[in-house]
Amino acid sequence: MDTNALLAKLHAIDGECRRLQDSMAILQWDQETYLPESGVEERAEQLALLGRIAHERFVCAETAHLLEELGSVTANPGGDEKLPAIERDFLRVTRRDYDREVKLPADFVSEAAKAEGLSTAAWSLAKRNNDFNYFLPHLCTMMELARKRSVYWGYTQNVYDGLLSIYEPGMDAKAVTSVFTPLREQLSVLLKKIASAPQPDRSFLDKKYNTETQALFSAELMKRLGFDLNRGRLDVSAHPFTTSLGCDDVRITTRYFPENLLSGVFSVIHESGHAFYDMAYPAEIRGSCLADGASMGIHESQSRLWENVIGRSRPFWEYFFPVLKNFFPDELRSVTAESFYKAANICGPSLIRVDADEVSYSLHIILRFELEQGLFNGTVKPEDLPKLWRERMKEIVGAEPETDTEGVLQDIHWSMGSFGYFPSYALGNLYGLQFFGSLKKDIPDADAKISAGDFAVIHNWLHENIHKWGRRLDPPDLLKKVTGQNLSVRPFLNYIEEKYSGIYGF
C-alpha cells in the first residue's frame, strides 16, 4: 500500500475517534446543563460505553499496523521529507497519543469514564449541600484511577508528574515549582503593598444585578467580542466551562449571581477566549487530532488573555462600559468607565478562584498545586482536605472559607479526575503575557483598537500566530516561534507591577 493510502486509513480512524469524542462531549455538556437529576447513572454508563468504543477503535491492531508501516517510511533516510509537514505533525501527534492510549486497558478506560460521570454528579450535590463527606468516596476513586493511569504510563515513582504531563506535555512538578516559587514570592510582596494602599470605590458592585439582564448583556458582549453564535452557544452551569461538540459547535457556559455582576461577565469573556481558539483551527487540520490546543496551559493563555489582559483593561471598559450601562442604567448611574475599570481590578484576599483578581489568582493555583502533590506523594490524606484547605488558604491567599462549598468543593476539576490541571491556569498567565508582548510589537495601536471595539485585528493575530497551529507545535516550540523566548515569569510580573502600581498609585 502506498503512503497516501496508509495515511488516508489512519485519518479515517482518527476521524472516527474524534467524532466519538465529540459525541461524548455532547453527553457531558448535557450533563452539566440540562440532565434531569435521576439521569446521572445512565449517563455515566453511556459515557463509559462510548469511551470504551473510542479507545478500542484507536488502539486497534489496524492503527498499530498503520503506524508501523508509516514509521518505516519516515525512518528511511530522507523518508520524512517525502511527507508534507502537516502529515509529519499528524503522525508525530498520533503516535504520541497512541503510545499513551495503548497502555490503558479498555476496562480501565470504561470504568474511569463511568466513575467520572458519577463523581461529577456527586460533587455537584456535595457542593450544593456543603457536604464534603458525600463527595469523599468519589474523590478517593478518582484519585485511585488517576494514580493507575499514571502508573500505566510508567510514572511509578512520580505519579503526579504523569498527571501533569496530560495537560502540559513535557512539564513536571520540578519545572512547575521553578516558576511558581518566584511567582508566589513577588505576588505576595505586591499584595502587601496593595493591601496598604487606598482602595478604589466598589460600592456599586454591592448592588443587586438582575440575572436575566446579565444574561442579555452576556449575549451582547459575546456578539461584540466576535463570538459566532451560528457556531456555538452560551448556557448556564454550576461551573463555567468550554467544550467542543464539533469544529462548528463550540459551547461555553457561565453562571449568574445577582450580588456578583463581575463573576458572570468575566466567566463569559474567559470561556469565549477558549472558544475563539477551538473555533479557529484551519481547514487542513479540522476534525483531526491536530485540531486542539497545544496544551491546557496554552489554552488557558487564550482564555486568561481575553479575560484579564484584554477584558480587565482600561481600553476594554472604555468601549464596553457604556454598553453595560445601557443594561443597568439605575445601578450604574453615577459610575464612569474609569471607576468601573478600577473596581474590576480591585485586588485582595478572596475565596473563589474563578472570581479572584489577577494578582492573587496564581496563589489560588499554588495552593492547589501543593495539595495535589501531597495527595499523590501521600503527605495529604483526602479526608483532611477541608481542614488543610482552610489553613493553607489563610496562609497563602490570606482568606479562610467558612464552608467547604466556598473551599475545597468550589472547583469541578478533582471530581473529573483532572489532577494536575490547575497549574495550567497559572502557566496560562505566563504564556499569555509573553504572547501579548509579541502582539503589542506587531500591533502598536492594539489599545486603540480595543477601545474602539474592533477586535478583528486581535483575532487575526492570535489566529495567525497561535490558533492555526493547533497541536502541530508543542508549547515550548510555539512559545519560541511566537516570542523567541522560553517560559518566563518576567513579562507577567512586569505587566502586573505596572498595571497595579497605576491603579493603586504606588
Footprint on this chain of its own copies (rule: CB under 8 A): 16, 19-20, 22-23, 26-27, 30, 34-39, 41-43, 45-46, 49-50, 53, 228-233, 235, 245-249, 287
Q: How many CB atoms lie within 10 A of CB 116?
A: 23
Nearer residue to its own copies within complex by CB, 227 or 389: 227
Q: Which of 32, 87, 271, 307 is catalytic?
A: 271
Joined together, the cell numbers standing for residue 435 give 504572547
Q: Residue 49 Cβ, how far from its own copies at the closest point, in Å?
A: 5
Joined together, the cell numbers standing for residue 443 give 500591533
Report which DSSP code applies to 198.
Answer: P
CA distances from 348 to 227, 310, 357 (A): 31, 20, 7
Q: Residue 19 Cβ, how far from its own copies at the closest point, in Å?
A: 5
Nearer residue to its own copies within complex by CB, 29 or 160: 29
390 Cβ contact partners less than 8 Å away, ≥ 6 residues apart: 400, 401, 407
Nearer residue to its own copies within complex by CB, 2 or 37: 37
Cell 495527595 locates to 375
Joined together, the cell numbers standing for residue 294 give 497545544
504 Cβ contact partners less than 8 Å away, ≥ 6 residues apart: 193, 194, 197, 198, 347
Q: Residue 295 Cβ, how far from its own copies at the closest point, in Å?
A: 24
Overall size of the chain counted in residues:
506
Q: Residue 235 Cβ, how far from its own copies at the closest point, in Å?
A: 8
Contact 381, 165 (CB under 8 A): no
Give backbone dihedrals phi and psi of 348, rounded to 5 degrees, phi first.
165, 170
Q: Residue 39 Cβ, how far from its own copies at the closest point, in Å?
A: 3
Q: Is position 16 annotated as part of the catalytic site?
A: no
Q: What is the dihedral of CA 348, 297, 305, 326, to 10 degrees?
A: -80
Joined together, the cell numbers standing for residue 75 give 525512518
Q: Residue 456 Cβ, how far from its own copies at the closest point, in Å?
A: 19
Joined together, the cell numbers standing for residue 205 give 458592585
The enclosing H or E element of 253 equals: strand 250-254
Nearest CA among 486, 439, 186 for reference residue 309:
439
Q: Residue 35 Cβ, how far from its own copies at the closest point, in Å?
A: 7
Nearer residue to its own copies within complex by CB, 23 or 188: 23
CA dist., res. 278 & res. 243, Å (int): 9
Coil, helix or strand for 329? coil
Q: Residue 12 Cβ, how far from its own copies at the closest point, in Å?
A: 11
Q: Residue 296 Cβ, how far from its own copies at the closest point, in Å?
A: 23
Task: Note every long-range contact of 439-443, with CB atoms under 8 Å and residues 24 or more positions apart, other chains counting.
Answer: 439/465
Nearer residue to its own copies within complex by CB, 237 or 360: 237
CA dist., res. 86 & res. 290, Å (int): 9
Nearer residue to its own copies within complex by CB, 249 or 358: 249
CA distances from 198 to 193, 347, 358 (A): 10, 11, 18
* Chain centroid to CA 445: 28
Integer-rounded Cα Rg, in Å, for the chain is 23
CA dist., res. 451 & res. 314, Å (int): 8
Catalytic residues: 271
